[in-house]
Structures are given as C-alpha cells and as structure tokens.
Amino acid sequence: MPLTVLRNDITKLKVDSIVNAANTELRAGGGVCGAIFAAAGIETLQKACDKLAPIKTGDAVITMGYSLPAKYVIHTAGPIYKDGKHEEESLLRSCYVNSLDLAKKHSCESIAFPLLSSGIYGYPKDEALSVATSTVGDWLMKNDMDVYLVVFDKAAFVLSSETLGDVKSFINQTYVDKSDLRFSQKRPSSQVGRDFYADEALSQSTHLPAGEFSQGLPPAGEFARSLPPAFTPAGTPASAMPVDAKRLNIKDKFKVKLDEPFSTILLRLIDSKGKTDVEVYKRANLDRKLFSKIRKGKGYMPSKKTVISLAIALEMSLPETHDLLRRAGFALSRSVVFDVIVEYFITKKHYDIFEINNVLFEYDQPLLGG
C-alpha cells in the first residue's frame, strides 16, 4: 500500500529506510531518536552522524541502518512549534519531502516515518498528522514508494476534534445494530431499514456467484421497490419504467451486471469522469501492480475495500458507489462501522483517502488502498 498508518515499533520494521526525528546536531536523544540509535548501535551510528552534522531544520541526511532491519536511516530535523506563525508548517513539510527525495535517490522502495515534531517539539498532534498525510500524499501523486506512518500507540495519534466529532455524530445517527433489524417482528419501513435489507440481500462483504442472487431474497417486485432509482436496470429511474419491468426476476435484473467484467466497467468510469489511470490508482492509494491486475481483467475481482478505494478516487456519489459495489458483488451496510464511516465521507463529498484512512485507523478499522 503506498501510504498506510501502522501502530508499531519503527526500529523493528523491515523496510528499506526509516526516518529519525533528529536534532540539528544529529546527537542521540530521547524518544524515537534514542530508540533508533540504540537499535542501530549508538557508537556506530553516532560516528556516522558526526560526519554529517550539523544540519538545518527541514533538511535530511542519510546513514546506513547498521544493526537495524532497515538498510538506511534518514535523519531529518523537524521544527520546534512556537505558535504556528514561524514557518513551522513549511519546515515540517520540507522534512517529509526531503526525506522522501533522499530515499528515492538511494533507490528505496519503502520508507517509514514517525509523526515528526509531535513529541517534545510540541507540534499539535492533529496538525502534525494532517501535514504528514497531505505532504506524503502530494509526493506520491508524482512518485511510487510504499510509505508507512508509524505511531507507537493511540496516544500519539490525534485527529482534529471537529472531524472526529462530526464522524462520531454521523455514526451515532446512522449505525444500525444488525440484531435489532434481523429479529424485529416486522420489516422496517424507514429508509435505513430498506437500505439494510437491500444490502444484506446482495451481501455486505462477500462476493456472490451468479446462482446465489436468487436465494433468500424478498419477492422480486418488493426487492425492486427497495432499490434506489440508480440501481434499476440500465440506470433507468424506477418511476419511468413500466410495471412489468419493475418486477423482473432478480437473475434477469442483474444479468448484464454479472456478465460485464469489472475492468470494463472501471475503464468506462475513468473515461466518463475525465481522469487518467495513474490519477485514479494514486488517489485510490493503490499499488500500481494491483491496479494493473484489475485493469487487465482476466477474471480478477477486486476486494470490497479496493472497490471503495476506486469509488473515492473517482469522486463518486453515494448512489454511484452503491452501484459499483453491487456490480462487484458487494454492498454497504449500516450495521458495519467501516461502511458507515465511508458513507459519511462520500455523503460529505470529502474524497481525501488519507483523511478517510486516519478516521478508519482511529476506529480500528481496515484502511483503504492496497
């Protein structure tokens, strides 16, 4: 995955390079810096750093990793936060860009960062996270590398209170306990209930073979009425269809969708949205090789996570996302926290996949991309 957040010990990661939150003198310090020096071999790493010191805030230099699993250590000096008015943000962005450029220069295919300047240097953690993900995301639009943002524990990972509050409120209003719906005495008449049953009928997380579409479903006409207009055959609004068309057998209703390769659907969508393949797979936080598999088709079907990532990259509306998922044999369910979070961002038309992943990480959910 091009950019992902990990809860781990950065000194134990088997990547090409790790980034040290260094001081300008490149001396062994505390926190992440001290841990990296200790794992690499304090005397050996210090001797290498002495030849490169001092550096300026925002600059980056590279040494071998010595006893670390990583081949290289990239040392960058983050800004000390004062009030946000002393070029702290631009200096912090320079740390990430200079480190990434240096890793690329040394043919690194993977790199792991701590959340720079967010410890004793006092940079507000939510702002430091925003700078990290946006800067790395921008860099990845023009370059290929697997990038990891490593936090040791949840205390080091803080989202903006505004974003977190809005998402929490949406989840509280939208999340539906599956057991309450399954065992209620009568079928829900609310839109939430209709959405749930439609989603459950097409499986919220499992790809269904064609023969399974007709099993365990409500009568065809009842099912057709439960579907939003965008999901009726050929995209024709239900109100504009003759009655007999609304009551098509479920296998007939989805025959075209099941027969058409997902790759064909995806390429047509990319063209219709006026985007390029590269733009889409990068905005979807997908590895180029994975996207190539999807694009070539040959029977390959993406996971639900990947389909959602592509929908985000294509800036699809919620009905369009539902339709794309159904064509791949999936659906969103309001009884799954992951799905509700995704629905929140799509409804708000917030299509920054890294921002979405930050929220998913906060809720201990799988991250988008691959």
Residue 294, pLDDT > 50, answer yes
Q: Where are the beta strands (DSSP E) in the chain?
A: 3-7, 17-22, 60-64, 72-77, 110-113, 146-151
pTM of the full structure = 0.77
pLDDT for res 301 = 83
Q: Quote the CA–CA distance of 278 and 171 in Å, as a whole number.
A: 33
Q: Is 167 helix (H, G, I), strand (E, B) or coil?
A: helix
Q: Quote the CA–CA distance of 100 and 104 in Å, as a whole number.
A: 6
Q: How does pLDDT run across 103-129, given as a tens digit for each residue? A: 999 999 999 999 999 999 999 999 999
More confident residue, 226 or 29: 29
Q: How does pLDDT run across 296-314, given as a tens digit for each residue? A: 877 778 899 999 999 999 9
Q: How does pLDDT run across 201-218, given as a tens digit for each residue? A: 333 333 333 333 333 333
Q: Quote the CA–CA distance of 148 and 294 in Å, as a whole number.
A: 24
pLDDT for res 221 = 36
Which superfamily is assigned to 3-158 in CATH?
Answer: Leucine Aminopeptidase, subunit E, domain 1 (3.40.220.10)
How many residues are listed for the chain in this entry? 370
Which of 75, 82, 175 lies closest to 116 in space, CA to CA? 75
Q: How does pLDDT run across 140-182, given as a tens digit for each residue? A: 999 999 999 999 877 778 888 888 899 999 999 999 875 554 4
pLDDT band, very low/low/confident/very high, at 240 (cuts 50, 70, 90) = very low
pLDDT for res 249 = 46
pLDDT for res 152 = 80
Amino acid at 213: F
Name the burial class of residue 24, with classes exposed (0-12), middle (13-18) and buried (19+) by CB atoms within 10 angstroms of its CB: middle
pLDDT for res 1 = 66
Eight-class DSSP state of 149: E
The pLDDT of 232-251, averaged and rounded, is 39
Residue 94, pLDDT > 70, answer yes
Q: How does pLDDT run across 325-360, given as a tens digit for each residue? A: 999 999 999 999 999 999 999 999 999 999 999 999
Which of 117, 128, 41, 116 lies closest to 80 in space, CA to CA? 117
Residue 200, pLDDT > 50, answer no
pLDDT for res 41 = 98
Sequence ranges of the domains in the chain: 3-158, 160-370
Q: How does pLDDT run across 10-55, given as a tens digit for each residue? A: 999 999 999 999 999 999 999 999 999 999 999 999 999 999 999 9
